[in-house]
Homo-oligomer: A and B are copies of this chain.
């Protein structure tokens, strides 16, 4: 028996939202998602690159991959994207938490088979992971595109959760001498490392440089 996903917020309701634009912002800032599905009652959760195409989430992988075949078989999946934005240090462990933004998307992914749409979707993925990259490299060959599966998951059934409040300690804890507050966390790009076989004098392009 298959039922609709239960997306009601029972707890921490104030952190829940079904706001589409917020979901898009969280997705657009992410490079990976965690894709969950079950095969014969065994759940699997796998990290995958992703991109957004309007109101769909795009995933890709080799046509030979078991993961892609599973996702293309009509299985229900849940795709979760999470940003950890900070550690919330309250005066007690109990009230400590994190700043985060997460989206959970429920649905069935469908394979994009029309060549032009697939090519377009794969190009979106390339530019999502590194804006500006697509125009700087050769177009993908027909063979490469044919060897890649592109899956599209509608952004229809989803939930958004955001935690961004400062620590909230009960009055009796305020006499604590412990420091309380938020330590922000952020993903940062380091110094680009050229490929060992990079032709001498090849400059780091602006769209890579500006990641730092």
Contact = CB atoms under 8 A, between A and B. Distances in A.
Interface of A: 1-6, 10-11, 31-32, 34-47, 49, 62, 64-66, 76-80, 82, 84, 86-87, 89-94, 96, 98, 100, 102, 104, 106, 122-123, 125-126, 129-130, 133-134, 136-138, 140-141, 144, 147-148, 166-167, 169, 173-174, 176-199, 202-205, 208, 211
B47 A82 contact: yes
A182 B192 contact: yes
B11 A64 contact: yes
B186 A203 contact: no
Contacts of A140: 92-94
Tallying the copies of this chain within the complex gives: 2
B195 A181 contact: yes
Nearest to A148: B94
Contacts of A187: 84, 185-188
A45 B36 contact: yes
Given A4-B42, A31-B87, 17 more contacts: A3-B42, A11-B65, A31-B84, A32-B98, A34-B82, A37-B43, A42-B76, A42-B78, A45-B79, A89-B133, A93-B144, A138-B178, A166-B195, A169-B195, A169-B197, A182-B192, A188-B188
A126 B196 CA distance: 42
A203 B141 CA distance: 59
Contact of A41 (B1, B144, B176): B1
Contacts of A98: 31-32, 49
A104 B176 CA distance: 39
A134 B64 contact: no
A2 B42 CA distance: 7
A130 B96 CA distance: 11
Contacts of A125: 93
Nearest to A60: B93
- 8 cross-chain pairs, A with B, having the tightest CB-CB distances, nearest first: A36-B36, A184-B190, A36-B45, A34-B34, A45-B80, A180-B195, A94-B144, A47-B82
